[in-house]
Amino acid sequence: MHTRHATDQGTVISIATRHVISAPPTMRIFGAIETLTQWGVRRLPIVDPGTHRLKGILTARDVIDFLGGGEKFNLINVKHDGNFLAAINESVSRIMKHEVRTLSPGANLQEAINIIVETRIGGIPIVDSEGVLTGIVTERDVLKVLCRTHSNLRVRDV
């Protein structure tokens, strides 16, 4: 599922996954959980189904917060009076992150590393100038590059 192009060498898109599993904001929470598990991913970008513009992101951490008593658990407890089945049928837009750190396709690897380290997030959606999702770069993608690179890079420099 990883597509790379030689013309993108040196940019973050060159190490990113381009065929990103995504979902519309209207998808039910249960459907989003199924998608995360079926595809074995921890992040699900939420995009407008017509324009493919990024609207938010759902992470495994958001789901655990929703199920495990975090702030998002209030959707079950307060809005649905503890009715889990009703809450899990709400749209994913109710528990996704609406504010998302992104990178442009031409961003360099160091920018991705800085965001991952500073914000402690494991994946960064890549969007074009119109906000259209074009890929996602994860901490695993960065590690793969670092393993392939023979440099004098020290751990504390990353």
pLDDT in tens, 73-132: 888 888 899 899 999 999 999 999 999 999 999 999 999 999 999 999 999 999 999 999
Using CA atoms, how far apart are residues 102 and 2, in angstroms rounded to an integer? 19
Residues 144-157: what's their mean pLDDT? 66
Q: Which residues pair with 124 in a beta bridge?
A: 137
Number of H helices, E strands in the chain: 6, 4
pLDDT in tens, 34-79: 999 999 999 999 999 999 999 999 999 999 999 987 888 888 888 8
pLDDT in tens, 12-21: 999 999 999 9
Per-domain residue ranges of the chain: 6-157
Please tell us whether the domain made up of 6-157 is placed in CATH 3.10.580.10.
yes
Q: What is the pTM of this model?
A: 0.84
Looking at the chain, which runs of residues are DSSP E strands?
43-47, 54-59, 123-127, 133-138
Which tokens in the block code for residue 112?
Answer: 């991705």
pLDDT in tens, 133-142: 999 999 999 8
Using CA atoms, how far apart are residues 110 and 37, in angstroms rounded to an integer? 30
